[in-house]
Chain A
Amino acid sequence: MNGLPFAAALPATLPHSAAERLAVLFDAHHERLYRLARRLVPTADDALDLIQETFLKAARAPRAIPSGFADEEAWLVRVLVNIRRDQWRKAAVRRRYHDEMRPSLVTGSDPEAALVARSAMWSALDVLPPRRRAIVVMHELQGLTMSDIASVLGITAITVRWHLSRGRRELARILKPYVGVTDDTD
């Protein structure tokens, strides 16, 4: 699977207990999950909380976790993204860009262009619903193909393409006045 270095070998012996399996699961997947989580939430603390919630869900439903490294990771990613979606809904964080983000971007000046661009992009990402954001992040930053993403998230490649296209368009629209980006559709 492109972009996710699934190089870690499965343990030579299967874990004996749920706790052991969780430990193995955590050791094998937490770093990659953290990288995804961090790209889905505003702060590093939020990312750690999201990881904890994900593994606690695994602890509560050990029989639901498939076996095999790739399947485990896909299951955990789906759980993580779903938790983030729930958080998004409950907190009603789907805010309009122009309500909250424009003032912080307009204050940027030339010497701070890079910082402004960084801030603008991450603020713009906050506008995307979590699953769309995850798809954009997985494709653009982790290098996963649409087929890979579809497999991980358990949705069709067509749905992935649709979310990716919409995500890019939304980001381009929001960012264009500030950093001059273009929707670089494949």
Chain B
Amino acid sequence: MTQIRDVLAAADPVRHECRPTEAERERLRLAVVAAGSRDDAPSTHTRRPVLLSVLATLAVIGMIVVTSSMSQRNGSLAQAAVRFEVRLAEDQPAPGLRAVRVGSSDRTVYVHPEIVVTNNDIEGSTVIPGNAPARFWIDVRLNAAGAEKMRQATANHLGKPVAILIDGDVVAVPTLKSPIGTAAVISGDFTRADAQRIAAGMIGAAP
């Protein structure tokens, strides 16, 4: 007679299936951490009801995946207020596009002249833990106007890069996996201090 334990072990899906992919794990982690970041929002920002926070968290799932390199150049991120811009970008040159080096890397992208969103479109920003020790990301939440502008601009730009500029420098160039809505995460090799300076400096009128 077979024992239940043996049949259970033989049937165990954990033994027979692949583990979740790294992308699935990251998506999950991002949603979880972003949910936590809502509780960390500075008191100067209106706290959302719990339900809205959860909905916002779910919206994060469909957002950008950032595979960026970060610039940490000569204290330029140390300003109290930073100029934040998001622009559409291309990998190939074209008339009207401006070539910009990505951080301290060798990569060059070609950014569009139009600014999609700027500091004025940000509702709040929070430093969240990244995917490695001592690495931090920034969870950016756009206001309604900013979210609409991002949705419209990114809907026809899937699979292409988007440039995130801090004080005029391209610090991250995520490739759009899906249209960006109300939230986005800027990931990269931020130190905690840099991430905090950027997050704090984003709020308010564009400098």
Contact = CB atoms under 8 A, between A and B. Distances in A.
Interface of A: 15, 17-24, 26-27, 30, 34-35, 38-39, 44, 48, 51-52, 55-56, 58-60, 62, 114, 117-122, 125, 136-137, 140-141, 168, 171-172, 175, 179-184
List of 6 A-B pairs having minimum Cβ-Cβ separation, nearest first: A59-B35, A22-B36, A23-B129, A19-B36, A118-B11, A121-B11
A52 B28 contact: yes
A contact face: mostly helix, strand, loop, or mixed: helix
B8 A59 contact: no
A39 B53 CA distance: 30
A18 B40 CA distance: 6
A38 B17 contact: yes
Interface of B: 1-5, 7-14, 16-17, 19-20, 24-25, 28-29, 31-40, 50, 53-54, 57, 126-129, 139
Contact of A122 (B13, B31, B127): B13
A19 B20 contact: no
B149 to A, nearest CB: 26
Contacts of A19: 33-34, 36-37, 39-40, 126-129, 139
Contacts of B14: 35, 38-39, 141
Contacts of A183: 4
A47 to B, nearest CB: 8
A180 B5 contact: no
B2 A179 contact: yes
B contact face: mostly helix, strand, loop, or mixed: helix
A18 B29 contact: no
A60 B35 contact: yes
Contact of A59 (B9, B20, B36): B36
A48 B8 contact: no
Given A23-B129, A24-B129, A181-B7, A59 B39 contact: yes
Most B CB contacts (10 A, CB to CB) among A58, A59, A181 go to A59
B144 to A, nearest CB: 23
A20 B133 CA distance: 11
Nearest to B54: A56
Nearest to B7: A121
Contacts of B5: 140-141, 184
A26 B54 contact: no
Nearest to B15: A141
A30 B5 CA distance: 25
A125 B1 CA distance: 19
Nearest to B192: A16
Contacts of A180: 1-2
B4 A182 contact: yes
A168 B7 contact: no
A141 B36 contact: no
B194 to A, nearest CB: 15
27 contacts: A18-B36, A18-B37, A19-B40, A19-B127, A21-B36, A22-B33, A22-B35, A23-B29, A24-B129, A30-B28, A34-B19, A38-B13, A39-B12, A44-B20, A48-B20, A55-B28, A55-B32, A59-B35, A60-B50, A60-B53, A117-B2, A118-B16, A121-B7, A137-B8, A180-B1, A182-B2, A184-B3
B39 A62 contact: yes
A60 B7 contact: no
A30 B9 CA distance: 21
B13 A26 contact: no
Given A34-B20, A181-B4, A56 B57 contact: yes
Contacts of B37: 17-19
